[in-house]
Amino acid sequence: MWSSNDGLYIFPTLCILVCAGIAIEGANTVKAKVPALFTFGDSIFDPGNNDFIPTAVKANNPPYGRDFMGGKPTGRFSNGKLSPDFISEALGLKETLPPFLDPQLTTQDLLTGVSFASAGSGLDNLTAELASVIPIWQQVGNFKQYKAHLADLVGEKNASNIIGEAIYLSVTGTNDFGDNYLLLPTRRNQFSVAQYIDFLQQTCTTFIEDMYNLGARKFGVYGLPPMGCVPLEKTIMGQSELKGCIEELNQISVSYNSKLKSALNKLNARIPGIKVVYIDIYYSFLDIVNNPSKYGFEKSDRGCCGTGLVEIGPTCNAATPVTCSDASKSVFWDAVHSTERTYQLTANLVLQNYISKLL
């Protein structure tokens, strides 16, 4: 069982020391030493950490995971794999990236990477507090505990090499707007949209600096997707039947991404030895939503589960009627999250256009 200390989760004693040979395979094959992959953020990257904490924000019920290996829910908010799973496999690490809090982790898992992400989290601590999930600062704290345990397993020098050469991916921000700023008055009474974006950027910068101080050097930071295309957001705004996206929300994403890119460029210029890459998923995802047939999809205005307009987490369940039979034909799995096939397309984008910049 996991034990806790000051709110941070600590590893159980593990055995079996395994080393891995690494290769990256995207559309263009690149070979390099990438010993491990670590992810931080929200449900886009959470492979099941929330299953091990007291929160309602979980995807541990069917039909989640129905197309995953074994056909059972894993805590991933999708019908199958997430993008980091595909990236981990392409890097030659392992077929899927496990959650840090899984008590069944092996030493091989620890050596080659885990996910610290928590569904419902964000850069704003209030966002995580509202959902009773793991805030970004605690995800960093969990990584600190991981680092200490890794040193016990392989020695300080080997641990430093793994941490320094590993790739770190983060995705945050969507919940800060969708579940916090746009939905509740607290932050709106404190910040304009522009001010809130600046507030989030400061937290993102602090996150990267904290990870850098722990030895991390290679960061891929995802920008926001087109939030106005998310079925649940369209439903909340009373436009669920529209085929198009809500431009007002998409403009928030564009503004956020522009400032994020600028902030990351400043980090690269200011901090020695760091590599921070902005990963633009906005325009590629927007093209998928606007031109689904181009990518082999039939439906992009709603999710596969139930009506696809409101279902998410516990409300997307085995009893939900009219859930589609073939998720690969849908861009969205539930009213917020993508299908496995969409996540694979996103992973391909990262492998083809961004991973090489982190080597």
All structural domains of the chain with their residue ranges: 30-358
Of residues 23, 169, 20, the one with CA closest to residue 108: 20
Contacts 24+ apart (CB under 8 A), 197-200: 197/252, 197/255, 197/256, 197/259, 198/259, 199/124, 200/122, 200/123, 200/124, 200/172, 200/173, 200/176, 200/256
Say whether 222 sits in a helix, a strand or coil: strand
What are the beta bridge partners of residue 171?
Answer: 41
pLDDT score for 33: 81
pTM of the model: 0.92
Write the burial class of residue 122 (CB in 10 Å: 0-12 exposed, 13-18 middle, 19+ buried): buried
pLDDT score for 241: 62
Q: Which residue has the tokens 């595909």?
A: 86
Summarised one tens digit per residue, pLDDT across range 67-80 is 999 999 999 999 99
The answer to whether the peptide bond before residue 63 is cis (omega within 30 degrees of 0) is yes
In order, the DSSP letters of 304-347 are SSTTSSS--GGGSSTT-TT--S-GGGEEESSSSSBPHHHHHHHH
Non-local (6+) Cβ contacts of 296 within 8 A are: 328, 329
pLDDT score for 9: 40
- Rounded Cα distance between 108 and 88, Å, is 13
Rg (CA), the chain: 19
Summarised one tens digit per residue, pLDDT across range 213-223 is 999 999 999 99
CATH class for the region spanning 30-358: alpha beta
Q: Which residues are catalytic?
A: 43, 334, 337
pLDDT score for 14: 33
With a cut of 50, list the residues of the chain below it in pLDDT: 1-31
